[in-house]
C-alpha cells in the first residue's frame, strides 16, 4: 500500500513510498497514532511531516532509519493543535464554534508563515453550549487538551482528512451520536485479545471543600474552613451520600475541590476515572465507534466503559477496539510518555 509524506508548512507532496508493515490507530480519545514501517531509509525530512495512507492522516513524531527501511512513530492529526493559548473571551456560543474560531485565527490565518497551515479548511456543525477552557492564573490553557476534553465529555469530534482535491485538509467539528452496545467474548462476533485490570479504582470518596466562615483575621482577610462529605459508588454506577445496597468494589480516596465547585459533579468526575482502571482490547465485526458506550461481558462479569480507540494491523484486516485507557505494558508507557 502506498503512503504519502507531505510537508507540514505547505502540505506539499515530498515522498511516495510503499509500507512494509503498520499498526495504526485511525481514531482515539487518548492521543494514540500507531506506527508504520516504510521501504527506504529516511530521517529528519520525515519528522513533523504529514503522512497519509488509505485516506487516513497522521503526523510523524519520530523516524528511525534502518537497513533498507524506516520505522515511523505516528501521532493523531489533532496533535497539530498542541499549543498554549491565552483565553481572551469569545463571541462564539458553542464549543465547536470556539474550536473552529481558534483554528482559523491560530493556524489557517496565522501571520507567522512558519506556523501557519493555510491548506486547512474548517467547518463546525456542533451546537453544544460554549464552556470556557480550564485556565491557569494567567488565563492560559492548552488548546489540544481542550479539544480532547470536548471529545471525552461531549463526544465532540474534530476530524481532519483529505479533500477530493487531494491537496488540502478539511476539518469537520461535530457532536457525534453515542451508541450503546453490549458485547460478549466469543459471541460469534467478538474475540477478546487482552484484558488488564488495576486495583486502584475508587469506590468511596471523602470530599473536602473550603468555605468562607464570614469572619476576618487580623489582616482583614477572610477566615476559611473546610467541609467534609462522604460519597459512595454503587455497583450500577450511581453515586450518593448514602451507603448503597450494592456497593462497587474499590479503594477509599480523598478529593479536595474548590470553594465554588459542585461536590456531586466533582465526585462523579473522579469516579468516572475508574474507567482507566481497566483496559480491554478485542476484535469485533460489529461497527463500533470511539465514544460509544460498551458493556463487555467477560468471565461472568460485565465491564462498562467507553470505546477509546480503534486500531488495525497490516497482518489482520479486522478492527481492534479498546475500552478504557490503562497503560499496561512498558512499551505502552514509553510510547505514551513521548506524546
Whether pLDDT at 209 is above 90? yes
Q: Which CATH architecture has domain 80-175?
A: 3-Layer(bab) Sandwich (3.55)
**CATH topology agreement for domains 80-175 and 180-199+276-334:** no
Q: Give the pLDDT confidence score for residue 337 in this predicted structure.
A: 43
Residue 330's Cβ-count burial label (10 Å; 0-12, 13-18, 19+) is exposed
Cβ atoms of 286 and 188 within 8 Å: the answer is no
Query: Residue 124's closest CA among 153, 100, 160?
Result: 100
Cβ atoms of 200 and 277 within 8 Å: the answer is yes
Interval 207-214 mean pLDDT: 93
Q: Which CATH architecture has domain 180-199+276-334?
A: Roll (2.30)
pLDDT digits (tens, 9 = 90+) for 115-171: 999 999 999 999 999 999 999 999 999 999 999 999 989 999 999 987 756 678 999
Mean pLDDT computed over every residue of the chain: 87
In this structure, the number of other CB atoms found within 10 A of the CB of residue 33 comes to: 24
Q: Give the integer Cα–Cα distance in Å for 118 and 110.
A: 8
Distances (CA, A) of 163 to 18, 119, 120, 122, 168: 22, 10, 10, 12, 6
Q: What is the DSSP letter of 52?
A: E
Please enumerate in sequence order all residues whose Cβ is within 8 A of that of 193, keeping only pairs 6 or more positions apart, or say none: 281, 282, 283, 320
Q: Where are the domains of the chain?
A: 2-75, 80-175, 180-199+276-334, 203-260
Q: Give the pLDDT confidence score for residue 164 in this predicted structure.
A: 59
Q: What is the DSSP letter of 290?
A: T
Please enumerate in sequence order all residues whose Cβ is within 8 A of that of 9, keeping only pairs 6 or more positions apart, or say none: 113, 114, 116, 117
Q: Give the integer Cα–Cα distance in Å for 216 and 273.
A: 38
Whether pLDDT at 186 is above 60? yes
Q: Among 9-13, 129-133, 215-219, 292-296, where is mean pLDDT lowest? A: 9-13
Handedness of CA 145, 147, 152, 153 (dihedral sign): positive
Distances (CA, A) of 270 to 194, 248, 253, 278: 26, 14, 10, 15
Torsion of CA 318, 319, 324, 325, to 10 degrees: 100
Q: Give the integer Cα–Cα distance in Å for 273 and 77.
A: 25
Q: Give the pLDDT confidence score for residue 273 in this predicted structure.
A: 74
Joined together, the cell numbers standing for residue 37 give: 514501517
Amino acid at each position: 500500500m502506498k503512503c504519502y509524506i507531505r510537508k507540514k508548512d505547505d502540505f506539499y507532496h515530498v515522498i511516495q513510498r510503499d509500507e512494509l508493515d503498520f499498526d495504526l490507530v485511525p481514531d482515539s480519545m487518548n492521543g494514540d497514532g500507531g506506527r508504520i514501517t516504510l521501504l527506504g531509509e529516511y530521517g529528519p525530512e520525515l519528522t513533523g511531516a504529514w503522512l497519509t495512507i488509505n485516506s487516513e492522516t497522521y503526523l510523524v513524531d519520530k523516524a528511525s532509519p534502518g537497513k533498507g527501511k524506516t520505522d515511523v512513530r505516528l501521532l493523531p492529526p489533532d496533535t497539530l493543535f498542541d499549543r498554549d493559548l491565552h483565553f481572551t473571551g469569545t463571541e462564539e456560543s458553542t464549543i465547536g464554534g470556539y474550536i473552529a474560531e481558534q483554528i482559523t485565527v491560530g493556524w489557517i490565518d496565522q501571520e507567522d508563515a512558519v506556523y501557519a497551515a493555510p491548506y486547512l479548511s474548517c467547518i463546525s456543525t456542533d451546537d453544544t453550549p460554549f464552556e470556557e477552557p480550564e485556565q491557569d492564573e494567567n488565563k492560559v490553557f492548552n488548546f489540544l487538551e481542550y479539544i480532547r476534553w470536548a471529545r471525552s465529555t461531549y463526544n465532540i469530534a474534530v476530524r481532519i482528512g483529505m479533500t477530493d482535491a487531494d491537496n488540502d485538509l478539511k476539518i469537520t467539528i461535530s457532536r457525534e451520536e453515542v451508541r450503546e452496545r453490549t458485547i460478549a467474548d466469543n459471541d460469534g462476533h467478538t474475540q477478546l485479545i487482552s484484558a488488564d485490570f488495576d486495583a486502584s479504582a475508587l469506590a468511596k470518596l471523602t470530599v473536602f471543600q473550603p468555605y468562607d466562615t464570614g469572619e476576618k483575621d487580623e489582616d482583614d482577610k477572610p477566615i476559611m474552613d473546610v467541609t467534609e462529605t462522604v460519597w459512595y459508588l454503587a455497583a450500577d454506577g450511581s453515586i450518593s451520600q448514602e451507603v448503597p445496597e450494592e456497593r462497587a468494589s474499590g479503594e477509599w480516596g480523598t478529593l479536595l475541590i474548590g470553594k465554588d465547585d459542585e461536590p456531586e459533579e466533582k465526585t462523579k468526575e473522579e469516579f468516572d476515572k475508574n474507567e482507566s482502571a481497566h483496559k480491554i482490547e478485542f476484535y469485533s465485526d460489529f461497527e463500533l465507534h470511539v465514544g460509544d458506550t460498551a458493556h463487555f461481558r467477560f468471565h461472568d462479569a460485565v465491564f462498562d466503559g467507553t470505546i477509546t480507540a480503534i486500531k488495525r494491523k497490516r497482518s489482520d484486516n479486522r478492527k481492534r477496539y479498546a475500552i478504557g485507557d490503562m497503560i499496561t505494558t512498558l512499551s505502552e508507557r514509553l510510547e505514551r510518555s513521548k506524546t
